Structure 1
Amino acid sequence: MKQQLSIILCLLGFFTSTALVAQKDSIALQREARALLREGNKLYNKEKFDDASIAYRKALGKNANYEKANYNYGNTLYQNKNYKDAIAQYQITAKTVKDKIAKAEAYHNIGNAMMEQKQYQGAVDAFKNALRNNPGDDETRYNLAVAQKKLKEQQQQQKQKDKDKNKDKNKKDQNKDKQDQNKKDQNKKDQNKDQNKKDQDKDQQKNKDNEQNKDPKNQQNKDKQKPKPQPGKMTPEQMKQLLESLNNEEKKTQKKMNVRKAKGRKVKQEKDW
């Protein structure tokens, strides 16, 4: 039992000494962080923002939760016009800090950084959050009024821009429709032109044929092309008619001869005594 108690006491002594060492180390780091913060502030006041930024980052390396180092590091980013990263740094401060005045200052600077980027809606929201934590800050109230005015102007400009864009789009659509209609009309004109040309060619050919028919020379040429009976010779048609006439006469003559023969024939009769 005594042996167990001695072991427990040894362990307690070990953990206590370890905790004390850790506490001493933590205190030492905090001191180093504060020293770096003061160094950064001196550089910041001399407007050596890059060097001040390095000092603040070193301070945060010693103590990541060092609120003043976080806030001041955001200020160096803002001064270097790195507004996007400055906003992110201020947001860390606004979420972690418990003091309302410090929180209001962080939101105030967020609003200023957003104003620089013409993000007026975000700036309005940030200034309102700053006033919720510090309602008596007249500078923040003034900045809020400016941000609200800028936001209204931006919305009106965007509305006009959208209106002009729609107007241009409608105009382009109308021009396109007009071009399409003109193209259709031109195609129709070309088709009518082709048809008129065909009709004209047809009429010209018809008139040409009529003129050729009226021309005596053409008529003579046509007459020349027809076969003409030669003097002293009968045409096949005349010969055919003549043969038919002769055949008819021959048939009539033969018929008369047959009748005469029939009348002159004597029939011999034998008497039956």
Structure 2
Amino acid sequence: MKQIITGLVLFITLFGFSQEEDEAQLLAAKKANNFVYEGNDLAESEDFVAAEMAYRKAISEQETSVAGAYNLANAYIKTENFDEALFRLEQAAKKATSKDEKHRAFHNIGNVLMQNEKCKEAVEAYKSALRNDPSDDETRYNLAVAKVCAEEQKDQNQDQNDENQDDQENQDDQENQENEDNKDQEGENEDENQDQEEGEDENEDKQDGEDEEDDEGKPEDDKNEQGKDQEEDQAKPQPQPGQLSPQQIKSLLEAMDNQEQEVQEKINAEKQKGVKIKSEKDW
């Protein structure tokens, strides 16, 4: 990018007053102009701090002093205080009453905006300057430079927006893929749980089947033996009410024999030990 032509110009605006104007206002205008002259001399000697103070005094004496605001802005430009410079130049543009004053203010506003890399805004400022002085080739040249700069910034911003959009789309795709993976994993887990539950159900059914087979599906031999026992029981004489059956009598006699044998064995054992036994029966 070519260097911008600054075209900073110091000027003094004198205001004409009618004879009817108040002498206080005339005196304030003269004091303001004197401070502007003082500031200009200090600026030429590059004492911009002192020049700034002089221009501020000029504005203090006469708030409508275009020269004070404009030249104060130029002092800020020299010290690269562009924010303050832009503020004072905008003041000067608003207070200006002639096309020449407006042209100078807008021209330098464009220069400050270009320093701040605000090319699009600078284009508008240079256009305003040319509206007040279409013959200024310097302003026309700066306008052309600002347009090129604004177009380059537009392309850069578009590229940045496209890059940001691509990054966002990639991020969205990644999130969608992660969501799909999570859904697939959840589906696999559900299938595994379902298979496990089905396996448990099959085991329970199998166990139930085995239990039923134990209870109801006994071997045929067992069934035959049970049937024979039942037939034998049915073939045996049934005892009459109040009487013992032959089987009961047989069982009772066998129990008595067994107990008598146990007593006899106990007596014999005691004899072998040589101790006196009891004659009473334990039972």
TM-score range, shorter chain: 0.5 to 0.7
| SS state at 2:52 partner | helix
Aligned to 2:189: 190
Q: Deviations over 1:1-59 (max 9, x none)?
A: xxxxxxxxxxxxxxxxxx99951x44433332222112211222233323211110101
Give unpaired runs (5+ residues) of structure 2. Answer: 1-18, 239-283
- How many Å separate the matches in 2 of 1:234 and 1:104? 138
- For 1:31, give the aligned amino acid: K
Tell me the alpha carbon deviations over residues 123-159 of structure 1, each in whole angstroms, 9 at most, x when there is no partner.
1011112122222322212211111011111111122
The C-alpha deviation readout for 1:156-175, integer Å capped at 9, x for no partner, is 11222222222222222222
Q: CA deviation at 1:96?
A: 2.9
Aligned to 1:174: 173
Structure with the higher helix share, 1 or 2: 1
Label 1:154 to 1:239 Cα distance change in 2 as closer, same or farther (>3 A).
farther
Amino acid at match of 1:82: N
* CA deviation profile, 1:108-129 (whole Å, cap 9, x unmatched): 1010111122222211011112
Letter in 2 for 1:155: K
**Superposed counterparts of 1:65-144, under 5 Å:** 65-144=64-143
Q: Which amino acid aligns with 2:64?
A: N
Aligned residues: 216
Instruction: Give the drift of 1:207.
Output: 6.8
The code of the aligned residue for 1:178 comes to Q
Other-structure match for 2:39: 40
> Which whole-Å CA distance do the structure 1 matches of 2:99 and 2:153 have between them?
31
Tell me how far apart the structure 2 counterparts of residues 50 and 81 of structure 1 sit (CA, whole Å): 12
- Deviation of residue 228 (structure 1)? 9.4
1:4 corresponds to which residue?
Answer: none
Normalised to the residue count of structure 2, the TM-score between the two structures is 0.63
Deviation, 1:71, is 0.8
* Superposed CA offset, 1:65-119 (max 9, x none): 2221121012123334333332232223223323333321111101011112222
Cα offset, 1:212, TM superposition: 9.8
Name the CA distance, whole Å, in 1 between partners of 2:66 and 2:36: 11
Report the structure number with the largest CA radius of gyration: 1
User: Separation in 2 of the partners of 1:195 and 1:67?
Assistant: 87
- Structure 1 vs Structure 2: percent identity of aligned residues? 30
RMSD of equivalent CA atoms:
3.7
Partner Cα distance (1:135, 1:207) in 2: 103
- CA 1:65/1:152 → structure 2, altered by over 3 Å: closer, same or farther? same
1:136 alignment partner, SS class: coil
CA 1:137–1:46 in 2, change beyond 3 Å: closer, same or farther? same
- TM-score, scaled relative to structure 1: 0.65
Give the 5 Å matches for 1:141-180: 141-180=140-179
Q: Distance in 1 between matches of 2:72 and 2:142?
A: 23
Q: Note the alpha carbon deviations across 1:200-258, whole angstroms, 9 max, x for none.
A: 445566677889999xxxx89xx6xx97988xx943xx259x77xxxxxxxxxxxxxxx
Q: Residues 20 and 138 of structure 1: is their aligned pair in 2 closer, same or farther, counting only changes over 3 Å? A: closer
* Cα distance in 2 for residues equivalent to 1:158 and 1:145: 20
- Higher relative contact order (Cα pairs below 8 Å, separated by 6+ residues): 2
Which structure 1 residue ranges, 5 or more long, are not aligned? 1-18, 244-273
